[in-house]
Amino acid sequence: MKRITTLLLASLFTLTGVAQDKINWLTTTEFEKAIKQEKQNCLIFIEQDRVDENMPKERAEEMQKRMFAFLEDDKLVDHINKNFICYKFNPLTESLNFQGKEYKQIEERGRTTHEFTAYLTESERINLPAIVLKDQKFNLFEYQASIPA
C-alpha cells in the first residue's frame, strides 16, 4: 500500500511539473528585454528557496499540486502565455544582474534570502513559493474592486 501511495504521489508531482512546463518561462535576460519591449503584465513565479525538513514529503507535494492546479487547464495556460510575460526565479541563484543592478543571496540570522525576491515582491518577508503579478509599468499589481453601476 505504501508503494502504491508513493507512486501515486510521485506521478501527481510529475504532472504538476509538466503543467508548469506548458508556461513559456523566460530566462532573466529574455525577461528583462521583454518588459522593455512589450507592454504586457508580468506573471512571476518565485520558486521555494529551501525545503522544510519538518514537513513530510507527501505534504509538500500536496501543497505544490494544489498551488499549480490552475495550470491543468489548457485554455488558461494558453491565455497566460498570450497575455503575460512569464518568468520563473530560483532564489538559490547566487547573483544576477537585472536592469543594471546586481542582486545577491544574503544571509541573515542563519537564514539565506535573495535580494531579487525582495525586489520582485516589494517585501522583505515572504513565504515561498509565490506568484507575483506586475502591471505593464512593472509595478506590483494592485487589485481594486469596482462597485457595479
Tens of pLDDT along the chain (149 residues) come to 333 323 333 433 443 444 456 899 999 999 999 999 988 999 999 987 666 667 788 887 888 788 778 888 999 999 999 999 999 999 988 999 999 999 999 887 878 889 999 999 998 888 888 899 999 999 998 766 666 66
Q: For residues 81, 78, 20 and 16, what is the CA-based torsion angle, rounded to 10 degrees?
A: 160
- Supply the pTM of this predicted model: 0.74
Q: For residues 36, 37, 43 and 49, what is the CA-based torsion angle, rounded to 10 degrees?
A: -50
- pLDDT value of residue 39: 86
| Rounded distance between C-alpha atoms, residue 25 and residue 86, angstroms | 5
In the chain, the amino acid numbered 117 is: T
Between the alpha carbon of residue 108 and those of residues 47, 94, 121, 124, the distances in Å are 20, 15, 18, 12
| Rounded distance between C-alpha atoms, residue 93 and residue 135, angstroms | 25
